[in-house]
Amino acid sequence: MLSGVAEPVLWNLELHTAAKHQVLRAYLDAWVPVMAQQALKMRHRMLGEPRLLLVDGFAGPGRYATGEVGSPLIMLDAVLSHSAFERFNNVRFIFLFIEHDQRRIDRLREEVAELGALPANVSVHVEHGEFETTFGAVIDQATGPGHRLVPTFAFIDPFGYSSASMSIAGRLLDFPRCETLVFLPLSHVHRFVGREGQDAALTSLFGCEDWREAIELSGAARSAFLLALFERQLASRDGVAHARSFQLRTQDGLDYRLVFGLGHDKGLEIAKDAMWKVDPVGGTSYAAATKSGQEVLFASADLVDTGPLLAHLRVRFGTEWFTIEQAEECTLIETPFRHKGHLKRRTLHLAERDGALQVERPPGRRGYDDARMRFRE
């Protein structure tokens, strides 16, 4: 922990842990085969066997006192139980679990041992230490002559914002094919902006002192500014193409965020799919139903309102001709919606049926591939 900084703020984990782990698992379910296949394709450019590194920077004990599995076991199971795992027996999956509490370390090692013998291409390293120091040493080694960091996914979920550092996440994201999922306790950051003794922690969290501009703000304006600043700082790294956040709301009004730092469009697609899996109606947030952490029973995905997507496409393209590829890119990058599942049938088809969209197709063709379209005035 940084010297001179207050102890981390703790919160009731039960309020949001389930949703947080659902997003993590949904993302890894899609990330593992995509990155494993990428590693195999790059075999000729890499030294030794293709490798993927999965890091949990604040690993915890592996399993909570309630019996619920923690993020390290979720990450391991995402690989070991994946339907495509046997196809990637030539890829080495390296897990690095970092935890500063010795008791949690001991329990985590017991949990990993209870899994039994792991496949030959899976290795687990449980390290006792602070995330910033331990993983910083890994990055230092990768920046040395003749070295580079293997494709990496890092889950950074500290017990309080004072343990998180933009410098480490940022250094990781300067490498190609490296991505992060960071837990940001936005309500607590909002509360402690401007309080005595928090300057060093906040500067470390954001990697700059621009957070001071939030001191004069209040309410939703302060939260929006701080979230935008955090996303902007992640997105400023060399290896980041997109920074996207998912909201975890609690019944008592606290606002937490999961923020993805993603290196390419495919990563953004996977992240959005994970968000919509947890929130199939809006794709942007999860709300705890009770203080015991009971999950909301979401309405049917058929109730998704794609009206905002249609409105955005209208503004984006006006009355100019555009292609389905342009519409998909716009949907993926500029909106919360998924281009697969939300764009064609739920948006373009309805707009065409209602006469709002003009579509010109090659003779004998249906759908929107190879077509051009524009909105009518």
Q: List pLDDT tens digits, range 184-222.
A: 989 999 999 988 888 988 999 999 999 999 999 999 999
User: For residue 31, what are the CA distances in angstroms to 5, 98, 181, 338?
Assistant: 36, 21, 12, 17
How do the pLDDT tens digits run along the chain, 377 residues long?
Answer: 222 223 333 334 454 678 888 899 999 999 999 999 888 876 655 556 889 999 999 999 999 888 889 999 999 999 999 999 999 999 999 999 999 999 999 999 999 999 999 999 999 999 999 988 899 888 888 876 767 788 899 999 987 666 667 878 888 888 888 999 999 989 999 999 988 888 988 999 999 999 999 999 999 999 999 999 999 999 999 889 999 999 887 766 788 889 999 999 999 999 999 988 888 877 777 664 433 232 333 334 567 889 999 999 999 999 999 999 999 999 999 999 998 889 999 999 999 999 999 999 999 888 999 999 999 98
| Residue 362: domain span | 305-375
CA separation for the pair 164, 367 (Å, rounded) = 48
Looking at the domain assignment, is residue 167 inside a domain?
Answer: yes
Residue 298 carries which DSSP code? P
CA separation for the pair 12, 10 (Å, rounded) = 7
How many folded domains does the chain comprise? Answer: 2
Tokens 């998704």 label which residue?
304
Tokens 């992240």 label which residue?
271
pLDDT tens readout for residues 227-277: 999 999 999 998 899 999 998 877 667 888 899 999 999 999 999 999 888
Q: What is the pTM of this model?
A: 0.85
Same domain, 55 and 97: yes
Same domain, 139 and 267: yes
Same domain, 312 and 207: no
Looking at the domain assignment, is residue 213 inside a domain?
Answer: yes
Mean pLDDT of the chain, nearest integer: 85
Same domain, 309 and 277: no
